[in-house]
Amino acid sequence: MGKKVYEEENIRAIADKIREKTGGDATYKTSQMPSGIEEVYEAGQKAEYDRFWDNNPIAKGATSGENLFSGKSWNDETFKPKYDIIISDLSSCYMMFKACGVTDLVKRLAECGVRLDMSNASTLYYAFFDSKITHIGEISLIRASLYGGTAATAGMFQASAQLHTIDKLIVNEDVVYANTIFTGCTALANITIEGVVGNNVSFADCKSLTHESLMSIINALKDYSNKTMLRFSDTDYTVSGYDTDPRGATFDVHYAEIVDGSLECECSIDGMYGIKITVYDVDISEADLPYISNVEFDVISVDSDDMPIVDVVITVDKTVMSKTLTIGSANIAKLTEAEKKKVTDKGWWLK
Judge whether 191 and 161 are in contact, CB under 8 Å: no
- Please report the sign of the dihedral spanned by the C-alpha atoms of residue 227, residue 277, residue 254, residue 258: negative
Q: What is the C-alpha separation between 143 and 128, in angstroms, rounded? A: 17
Tens digit of pLDDT at every position of the chain (351 positions): 455 555 555 556 555 555 655 556 666 455 555 554 455 444 445 566 667 677 776 656 656 789 989 999 999 999 998 889 988 877 889 999 999 999 999 999 999 999 999 998 888 999 999 999 999 999 999 888 777 677 789 999 999 999 999 999 999 999 999 999 999 999 999 999 999 999 999 999 999 999 999 999 999 999 999 999 999 998 899 999 999 999 999 999 999 999 999 999 999 999 999 999 999 988 899 999 999 999 999 988 766 666 778 899 999 999 888 899 999 999 999 999 999 999 999 999 999
